[in-house]
Amino acid sequence: MKLFFLGTASAEGYPPPFCECIHCREARKERGKSLRLRASVLIDDELLVDFGPDLLSYTLRYDIHFSLIKILIITHSHYDHLFLNNFNYVLPETGTILTKPPDLSIICSQDVYKKIRYHFEKYTQSQSWKIQIIKEFETISSCHFKITALPAVHMINEEESFFYIVQKEGETILLAFDTGMWGEKIWRFLQNYLFDVIVLDETMGYK
């Protein structure tokens, strides 16, 4: 599988807009890889992980064609991972799409599903996306991928937050954004897999 890291920063981006520490000043000076957008990964040009506020910046910076995406998996509803206004780009009424809208399969938790449905219920007839609700320790097959959801240690007592195992053609990737330390049940489950790539982020995981 080909991984394209569209962004690797936390919610404020890097450097944060109002910080003038030596590290942020150096990042602005160096530019390039030192300027980081909010976390998102594109896999094989057709699976997108998370839907944060830098979507337009990704297309302009990297010449990404999001019309090719078939699957969107969402980890949780914090705005840097789920920026609901992005769905306006997908709707013919609001996205100024002169070609056929993408047929998008969205995989997410029940909590995320409720938020998407609440904001876009009036567009039910014209939505080009279909939402599949996934539960913890469940595996869903979509296109060429097998996607397994595991409970992240994040947004505790607020909502379900997931990290994912993505498999395709004998390769296995662990994608763990925004999580604190896992419990024994998770570690035992992960022993069943041999990972080719592990993407792990514990930035403020418990929050």
**Overall fold of domain 3-200:** Metallo-beta-lactamase; Chain A (3.60.15)
Task: Name the region of 151 (left: φ>0; alpha: ψ -120 to 50; beta: rest).
Answer: beta
Q: Tell me the pLDDT tens digit for each residue of 154-207.
A: 888 889 999 999 999 999 999 998 998 899 999 999 999 999 999 998 665 555
Strands 171-176 and 197-200: parallel
Closest CA to 58 of 2, 7, 1, 3: 7
Listed by start position, the domains of the chain span 3-200
Q: Model-level pTM greater than 0.85?
A: yes
> Which segments of the chain are extended strands (E)?
3-7, 40-43, 47-49, 71-73, 104-108, 129-133, 139-142, 145-151, 162-168, 171-176, 197-200
